[in-house]
Amino acid sequence: MHLTNFTLQRLSAVALFIAILSLAPFMSSVRAQRPSPEQKPDVSSKALITKQTPDSKKKPVEPGAVKQYTIEQFMATTRLGGASFSADEKSILFHSNKTGIFNVYSIPVAGGEPKQLTNSTKESTYAVSYFPADARFLYRYDKGGNENEHLYLRELGGTERDLTPGEKTKAQFYTWSQDRKSFFFGTNARDPKFFDIFEMSIADLKPILIYKDETGYQIGAISNDKKFIAFGKPGNNTNDADVYLYNTETKEMKNLTAHTGDANNSPETFDPDSKFLYFLSDDGSEFKSVIRYDLASEEKAVTEKTNWDVSFMSFSRTGKYRVVGTNEDARTKIKVYEGATDKPVAMPPLPEGDISGIHFSESETRMAFYYEGARSPANLYVYDFATQKPLKLTESLNPEINADDLIDSRVVRYKSFDGTEIPAILYQPHGATAAKKAPAIVRVHGGPGGQARMPYIASVQFLVNHGYVVLDVNNRGSSGYGKTFYKADDQKHGREPLWDCVEAKKYLQTLDYVDGKKIGIMGGSYGGYMVLAALAFKPEEFNAGVDIFGVSNWVRTLQSIPPYWEAERKSLYAEIGDPNTQLDMLREISPLFHADKITKPLIVLQGANDPRVIKPESDEIVEAIKKKKGVVEYVVFDNEGHGFTKKANEIRGNKAILDFLDKYLKGAAPGVAKN
């Protein structure tokens, strides 16, 4: 039973903390070391992605030749996600924020207008899955961004049923059973720290406990014969995790990846015949490979290995197709194989971009996926294996925006203070030349183990369209570049990773089209922390800062983590610091205790319901700067959590950022503190 949909939602031991401090839709970076299936990739040697490197010497377009768009126009672009075929395979379930908030829709596989199925005006609502034999479907939403999502059933008559009630309950859909008569899910209703596993029959919709977790395991896959459950378990640090195999008949739990030294192991899927377990491992290597474990003989074999991390692997229902994704230099590439022969499936080329959200139909005759490029937001496609033709079902980009006015990003590399090579994504505005220099922004992703990536980011294209150079940095500690690079920031936050960002500024100053005296820093979540750290610990380096939901006080953040992160507590402390034993160090790297050194203009954005970086983190840094008569603006969103799910808030937030940068970076106004 391959958990195709769930594996895109679930996170490995390392990636779960990445999620703790990653900023979701607003910053739009894929920061986990394994992209979610809603963030998957290109296809093979004859792949879905054609390799094209933007010409860094391309003659810039004159400013007058490019139209400048408002934030309202950028946010009129639609964001999409999710994919589930209906029982008759004539339509696909997905979610869209077309109305200004996410709702669930269906669309014919032959093409046509989407039909709105939910009508929420308050909470963003996300598609999970159609029922196997009728038009009922599962969906999920939380309350005001508190992240306590429940699973809901939309009945045939249109009524809603909460399948996982409880004020503080957090629920996760895992997968359907092979016979499609039941599905598996998890909740922390019994103990807020751990997720128990249940099976719910379609016939009576009553949950039956399958596994009671009292240890802190993270589910990875359930075999089709229901005999085995594969778990991941975090270890002592973010580069230490094991795969466990639980036998539901004997109740035996076995560690399959006991190791010495750093090794990150995470379960992926069982084969459809329940003979093998596939998991990812970087044991003895810089990068993750696919390992096949024989459930009968207990033998292991490497089945997929590259010079990059393998991000995921999954099967279609009977194993007719197998998909493997790799994280290759800020882009996810995929290969589709025939299950019986292991031969690559030839796919028609698409322009350079990412394929994500892959979902096979039950008959295995079609494949739904999302495609997006730097100038093209994600669109839903369906591919027919018989005709070998992909059909585009949606048009996400606002028709008022000409894609030619947007910018293709490119990967660059620069040397940091100690010679370490730092990869980054560079955006050069049309019209920026040595004669017409542009202000610039160093952008820092969330995580800390996140990754700046190539596909479309509305907030970045908006800034570039308004004349800002953007350098999206993969400082040390970022995922995707090997485990040595990934762990290079452990217990070094506020120092070496920050210095990489300072060197990013110096790299920008070498570009003849950048105004070296007008460079700011911007980031969300952990990236927001880096903004505050830059202004507090390197106060003369950047001219302005944009902090979106950033950590200001590590002591409080580490002490207030949600209970369901209990399994990652040890590795989290190893990554940042232990508030029980390293209090002085954590205060030393927390900008709040050094706010008197912040002299450059700052804007802070914060969701009032954020459970990851709670509101006092922003309240107190703003108040501390105001006391010193510093320049600070503060924007609070009463109905958001850790990231934006509502267009009105995205518009308000992005407009506030541009206005701030135009005044304090591009305009370099001295300014005074604002309330």
Q: With cut-offs at 50, 70 and 90, classify the pLDDT of residue 673.
A: very low
Instruction: Decide: 593 and 243 in contact? Cβ < 8 Å.
Output: no
Rounded CA gap, 437 and 510, in Å?
12
pLDDT in tens, 139-171: 999 998 889 999 999 999 999 999 999 999 999
Does the pLDDT of residue 17 top 50, yes or no?
no
Mean pLDDT of 642-663: 94
Give the architecture-level CATH label for domain 409-666. 3-Layer(aba) Sandwich (3.40)
Q: Using omega within 30 degrees of 0 as the cis cutoff, is the peptide bond preceding 448 cis?
A: yes
| Statement: residue 10 has pLDDT above 90 | no
* Mean pLDDT for the stretch of residues 12-22: 40
* Predicted confidence (pLDDT) at residue 428 exceeds the cutoff of 50: yes
pLDDT for 59 = 53
Task: Quote the pLDDT of residue 600.
Answer: 97
Q: What is the pLDDT of residues 230-259, one digit of tens each?
A: 999 998 888 899 999 999 999 999 999 999
pLDDT of residue 18: 40
Q: What is the pLDDT of residue 61?
A: 58
Model confidence at 53, pLDDT cuts 50, 70, 90, reads very low
pLDDT tens-digit readout, 446-504: 989 999 999 899 999 999 999 999 999 999 999 999 999 999 999 999 999 999 999 99
Residue range 4-53+80-373+375-392 in CATH 2.60.40.1170: no
Rounded (to 5) percent helix, strand, coil in the chain: 20, 35, 45
Alpha-carbon torsion angle 260, 261, 262, 268, nearest 10: -10
Helix residue ranges per DSSP H, 52-169: 71-75
Contact 391, 425 (CB under 8 A): no
Task: Give me the pLDDT at residue 367, please.
Answer: 95
- Which is higher by pLDDT, 257 or 6? 257
* Of 127, 101, 26, nearest in space to 647 by CA: 101
- List beta partners, residue 54: none
- Angle, CA of 165, 168 and 172, to the nearest 5°: 65
Domain extent listing, the chain: 4-53+80-373+375-392, 409-666
Mean pLDDT, the chain, whole residue set = 89
Concatenated DSSP letters of 597-611: G--S-EEEEEETT-S
The CA distances from residue 477 to 412, 423, 548, in Å, are 17, 12, 20
65: confidence class by pLDDT, cuts 50, 70, 90: confident
The pLDDT score that the predictor gives to residue 235 is 86
Strand-pairing partners, residue 487, are none
- Between CA 326 and CA 313 the distance in angstroms is 9
Q: Which single residue is written with the structure tokens 């039941």?
A: 182
In 3D, which of 605, 607, 616 has the Cα closest to residue 638?
A: 607
Q: What pLDDT does residue 64 have?
A: 60
Looking at residue 366, its pLDDT comes to 96
**Nearest alpha-carbon partner for 272 in 337, 225, 340:** 225
Percent of the chain with pLDDT over 90: 79
What single-letter amino acid sits at 231? F
| Total-model pTM | 0.89
Beta bridge partners of 244: 231, 255
- Does residue 4 have a pLDDT over 60? no
Common-topology check for domains 4-53+80-373+375-392 and 409-666: no
Q: Output the six-digit token pair for 600.
A: 């450059």
Please tell me which residue, 373 or 505, carries the higher pLDDT value.
Answer: 505
Query: Which pLDDT score, from 0 to 100, does residue 258 have?
Result: 93
Return the structure tokens found at 515. Answer: 């105004």
Say which range, 6-10, 118-122, 620-624, has the weakest mean pLDDT: 6-10
Q: Is the pLDDT of residue 82 over 50?
A: yes
Position 63 confidence tier, pLDDT thresholds 50, 70, 90: low
Alpha-carbon span 195 to 217, nearest angstrom:
8
Q: Using 50, 70 and 90 to split pLDDT, how confident is the model at 25? A: very low
pLDDT, position 622: 97
Q: Which of 642, 635, 674, 623 is nearest to 524 (CA)?
A: 642
SS3 of residue 57 by DSSP:
coil
**What pLDDT does 479 receive?**
95
26 has a pLDDT exceeding 50: no
Q: What is the CA radius of gyration of the chain?
A: 24
In the chain, the percentage of residues whose pLDDT exceeds 70 is 89
pLDDT of res. 668: 64
Confidence tier at 299 by pLDDT (50, 70, 90): very high
Residues near 300 by Cβ (< 8 Å), separated by ≥ 6? 291, 292, 293, 294
Token reading at 73: 């126009």
pLDDT band at 332 (very low <50, low <70, confident <90, very high): confident
- Provide the pLDDT for residue 372: 92
Distance from the Cα of residue 469 to its chain's centroid: 23
User: Length of the chain in residues, anyone?
Assistant: 675
